[in-house]
Structure 1
């Protein structure tokens, strides 16, 4: 197998992939935000605990900022090196992504693969992943890639990553 393609990922695609990977942690963040923003005013109005109520409200607003603006900024900063077209080469041993400033080679035996509607996410660890955007491949290339990845044995690293992802 030797598949090559060239495409450019958009900021929106990188954000969607990041959201998919971090979905469980984001859910915990939203729950924490809602809890803090609820407890703050309740503490002020019902218990007259102005310091505690104000602190909870401020913390809830900071969490809200991190979940919205902060997350987008982090994805933009992480993707600074990923600007421009990517030259993707998929072989039986690895996936190589070449960009103007960076080259990344991911060996199949070290990743856990998650397929979504728009992406193939190659997880090296729960928070470290590479994105293969499906729109960059022809239907025949996607079919060949799916057939190949379906036949891959689970590596110990993949099982460990899958177990961690299931826990979070």
Structure 2
């Protein structure tokens, strides 16, 4: 089983949106028996909380469920348990890499690193910008490329 973890700052906006969108793509591709998805935050402010109302609204518009999504903080154990740890911005990557010093096996990248023609590498935090549409567009493109790369790397059809 291939395990993917999406990570942002508080785990209420970007990473749960990425988790839900990627899970939906995995289900539609018939790959739920091969790929599992989760999300976490580098900070612990929103542990146990549902996604931000902007994230829930965007997912609802897309017909994607946010049910069962709850904020949690990333731990060093995640670095051993997940094959792909995908940060939303450079700050997330720096925080993940601080944990990775304890468990250097993790494959850590920003989601936008999977898109060659994307000039912007950081997905802005809609908790501060309020722009959930922009974040959705970036996550949608990034998760398409991520799924393609996983299928190519792992020889999954």
Normalised by the length of structure 1, the TM-score is: 0.29
- In terms of Rg, which structure is larger? 1
Higher RCO structure, 1 or 2 (CA under 8 Å, sep 6+): 2
Write 1 or 2 for the structure with the bigger share of strand.
1
Normalised by the length of structure 2, the TM-score is: 0.31
